[in-house]
Structure 1
């Protein structure tokens, strides 16, 4: 596409160069720049795109786009086009959509946001739509799925991918005859306008917890980020059991569809009437949200109810492994609310003893750590604290933060910083009839320690732990 065509409907100021040149791609990451690309300069929370202009030019960028005044751009060669736009985040969203031919307009897009449950609800919607005959794609934390089959892992487990990557994927969905796309919409993705030019038919607001407060600068800023979905979606589905979610929708022009633990779209339905084949009351709520999505798309409750039996949990969400009378569950629960509902589900499931292995991620959300410690101590028979993704933080300090919430509980608590050894220890202690929960990382295949990323999968470590336990038992 010619740069002049790309910029035709967008406010901009030409600072130097020409707009009569061919654009082959658009990116805000200097690592992804190729010959003929437009490089969007954006100021992030950690890095400033200004620092990477020279790298982008070396890789072949022919256009630089900025959104700030009084910048020193004198070092940029005169043959390179430089444009100023009002907002770089909005422009990369618009430009990516236009370069891909606005594929979202050819799809029914459902976007799901919430502190907890986004992945499960997204997959439930995909499973139900597939069961009623639709060709679906689910895009989120665990990867890109086409009709339930994993096609591609998402880099860095990013919940909502940048617009420059999303719109080409949506174009590919159109080419593969997909009719419905279900997206996980993170607060960070919404606040940075990644979905600004992605037409959303149905938005779903699940819940609002404390996760990511720090990344947004506070609770209200986090809520405002979630509110972006209300502005983008044609129809909204809202959890009526969550007062913050309800408050967020008071200014909506049209009435949203509500679900709760007692009703769906204001019609009462008990758990027995729904008969959802998944473990946990929180997953029943997730199913109710998914049912509402199909109702909003025009399907009858009778059609939906007839296919509820297809529902199953995605990878890393109460993922079960059973051996030697011991049940082990791997789950992504990494917030106080999520950990509580998972532990409640397992306790109600009838465990003889419940062992919980978990840690907290580094460089974020310090305030949730003692809360998670208290939740684990309250619901578990035994707690093993370990590392999650400590990142640049000292793992032992994270553990101390968690331990501060366990004061006053008599629950035995052990600390093993090495996650592999913590999992092995829990499996070794567990006996016939016991349940072990490995929480916090779920589907993740890596662990971030310091500046390094290492291969690590909780479920694979569980399997190895049983092999080692059986070997030790034989040797004894």
Structure 2
């Protein structure tokens, strides 16, 4: 597409000729190919202006800036320079247009919430599959088409950047997919990744403590979540979550409420209510999925008849059982999520000892660390505090932050910074009838330490440890 067509009706200033063909767009200089448009955006950790030379060397035919950098770019007099108010929004616009606006040809469901996004997107995908629709699920655990996981060279992100999302949606259209269910993270929403995605239904699940530091404040986090209401044609919201209700109360879109007690707009007859899933939160997640199918026009009874087939995604209360010991792997990495999972286990396994293994990620919201400890200690028989993904922080410093949430000395709280050893130690000491919860990483197959990524799977380590018990 001609660059002149891409900037048509878009607020910008132009230096140089825009009568050139654009083949692609990216904000990553290392990904530039011949004929691409390079968006030299300023980020938190890096600045695209420092990578313009590489982008041009790799074949960029024009540079997009979101601020005045004429002096820095003066040594590239033959390269067209486009200055726009917001680089992220322009990147989203161009990505959609170059792909032929594929979201307009699909039914798009976007799900947001502090917890439960992955489960609900998979539940919706599974139910659509049962109803004969061709659906794709995009989110934390990867890309699934018609229930099958696809191996693609895409970033490991909850909500894909626009430059990857729209080409993927184009592939969905070409592959006969009719429905796409995606996770809409607060960071994805706040960075305009979904700005030019034609979203039919936006689903609001719950709001808890997460990503406050990355957004700058709790209010900024809430404002990011609220953006989904503006992007969606209609809204489904969890009536049991007061903050979600508050976020959408002034939305000018049709809004429908669901809840776990069947008293909201989307009600389910008691005799048909899906009850096979462990935990009240998963019953609520099932109700959210059922609500989506109903808004899409499917028959309620027919949808509910398939609810007993719903399967939790990888790393969500994933069970391993051996020698009378049940081990659960769960992604719970916020205070709310940990509390919800532990309460579900308590309700399901009354009077059984519960041993919790968890840690907190580095370079993430520090405020939730002591809160996680409070939850774990109050609802567990024993607690093992360990590392999660320490990233660039000192694992022991993170553990100290976590431990600060524990009042006084506790003989039932243990510390082992090495996550493998922590899991092996707890399982080795577990007895018949014990419930072990390994929380925080769920489906993840890596551990991030410093600038390196190491293969690490809670499930694999736990399985090896428990099967080794006599």
Measure how far apart 1:433 and its partner are.
1.2
* 2-structure distance, mates of 1:301, 1:411: 51
- 5+ residue gaps, structure 2, are none
Measure how far apart 1:405 and its partner are.
1.1
1:115–1:207 Cα contact (<8 Å) kept: yes
Match of 2:383 in 1: 383
Measure how far apart 1:79 and its partner are.
1.9
Match of 2:265 in 1: 266
What TM-score do you get using the length of structure 2 for normalisation?
Answer: 0.96
Deviation by residue 1:204-228 (Cα, 9 ceiling, x = unmatched)? 0111111011111111111111111
- Is 1:300 paired with 2:293? no
Deviation by residue 1:332-374 (Cα, 9 ceiling, x = unmatched)? 0000000001011111121621111100001111110111001
Match of 1:350 in 2: 349
Measure how far apart 1:154 and its partner are.
7.4
Match of 1:117 in 2: 116
Match of 2:308 in 1: 309
2:274–2:304 Cα contact (<8 Å) kept: no
1:271–1:284 Cα contact (<8 Å) kept: no
Residues 457-472 of structure 1 correspond to what in structure 2 (within 5 A)?
Answer: 457-467=457-467, 469-470=468-469
Provide closer, same or farther for how the CA distance between residues 42 and 414 of structure 1 changes in structure 2, counting only shifts above 3 A.
same
Match of 2:90 in 1: 91
Match of 1:199 in 2: 198
Provide closer, same or farther for how the CA distance between residues 416 and 229 of structure 1 changes in structure 2, counting only shifts above 3 A.
same
Match of 2:288 in 1: 289
Q: Is the partner of 2:72 in helix, strand or coil?
A: coil
1:235–1:296 Cα contact (<8 Å) kept: no
Provide closer, same or farther for how the CA distance between residues 403 and 133 of structure 1 changes in structure 2, counting only shifts above 3 A.
same
Match of 1:157 in 2: 156
Measure how far apart 1:266 and its partner are.
2.9
Measure how far apart 1:91 and its partner are.
0.7
Q: Is the partner of 2:143 in helix, strand or coil?
A: strand
- Is 1:360 paired with 2:365? no
Q: CA-atom RMSD, angstroms?
A: 1.7
Residues 396-475 of structure 1 correspond to what in structure 2 (within 5 A)?
Answer: 396-408=396-408, 410=410, 412-467=412-467, 469-470=468-469
Deviation by residue 1:233-256 (Cα, 9 ceiling, x = unmatched)? 000001111111111112122441
Q: Is the partner of 2:314 in helix, strand or coil?
A: coil
1:68–1:84 Cα contact (<8 Å) kept: yes
Measure how far apart 1:406 and its partner are.
1.7
2:357–2:383 Cα contact (<8 Å) kept: yes
Match of 1:132 in 2: 131
2:233–2:254 Cα contact (<8 Å) kept: no
Measure how far apart 1:299 and its partner are.
1.6
Residues 212-361 of structure 1 correspond to what in structure 2 (within 5 A)?
Answer: 212-263=211-262, 265-266=264-265, 268-269=267-268, 273-350=272-349, 352-361=352-361
Match of 1:62 in 2: 61
What TM-score do you get using the length of structure 1 for normalisation?
Answer: 0.95
